[in-house]
Structure 1
Amino acid sequence: MTIAKQNISPTDGVYISYCLDGNLFNLQRLQSKTLVTMEPLKNIEKFTYLGSVLSSTNDLTSEMQRQIGLASASFGRLSYRVFMNRDLTSTTKISVYKVICLSILLYRSESWVLYRRHLKKLEAFHTNCLQCILGVKWWHRVLHAEIHSRAHVNPIETIISQRQLRWLGHTIRMPTDRFPLQDTL
């Protein structure tokens, strides 16, 4: 293993040590302390980077909660103007829901690896929004499949699968020197 070091005094900036062996993630390197201006950085459990919640456990639960919260906030802001508006048709309301709320809910879903618990949370939010838009209450005892067919909207699992397959198709058709294709294969 070759280690390249650049000697920088503490007044010049950050001391950087990097490896040229091709290994990006090395357990020994990940557990070592990172120094910035000779003070160690703290290890944290999760942080937000480019809109994604990254955690030390690589679990999507916090990401799901964040996306559901953002989509719920946008649904709430539009509720009285759009979704509860009796002058708009349900087709218009569903179109607005698809364009705004579903886009926020499923942002970056192409790269998610979902477990059943994640799909259940997403599907519950999706169905609750559709019930609100269509005016269906819980005591009406309407099946979720019936709600999806009335709204002409697929279940969330189908929508995510379509998005992931579409993204995979784009990356497969890319030239071989592009980074996303190298990362996928």
Structure 2
Amino acid sequence: HKGNYRNTAWHPALAGDYIFEAPSLDGRLPFMEVKVFYVLSDQSASNSGNLWLAPGTHKRTPQALRDVGGKVDPSDSIELKLPPGAAVLWRTATWHCVGPNLSDKTRKVLHVGYHCRWLRPTDYMQDPDLIARSSPIRRQLLGALAPGSDPMGDDPEFHPASAYWLAQNEDDVPLRAWAEAHARSRTSAREPL
């Protein structure tokens, strides 16, 4: 976004508050996702469309944000002043907003979310060519299903949130074996996945 854009409404990154109204969750967002915020354009100065975070707010309910009118005291928040190439890892339940972009530069960022395996989207259509040329680990990170699998499950009697989403065998989660091998050997984790 360029010039005069601002999204100063504080919010957690939720599909909708309604999914956290169940008594069993007591209104708080459980830890299900982290997001990586990659900075592609210079945001090292204020008023460049910087990301603002309110630390500790991931422990609050969506109702708490409504109770304060979607506003956060500036002393309870931080403005991230980041150069191109910087990355921030944060919980999506953390209240955040985008500051104004009063610069003459377009704000460019990339968000990548990582979820629990059982939170696979059922409407995400993967590019078959990308999946075919990807390593097993990259396929897992992209959320690829086994060839011929239906994202809603193979058995219509099973709900999508059932055991269908759990790993069936070690080949189904190659990233686990990679992480364990690198943790034991302490070799560089910078090799391509």
Q: Give TM-score scaled by structure 2 length.
A: 0.25
Structure number with the higher strand fraction is: 2
Structure number with the higher helix fraction is: 1
Which structure has the larger Rg?
1
- Bigger relative contact order, structure 1 or 2 (CA pairs below 8 A, ≥6 apart): 2
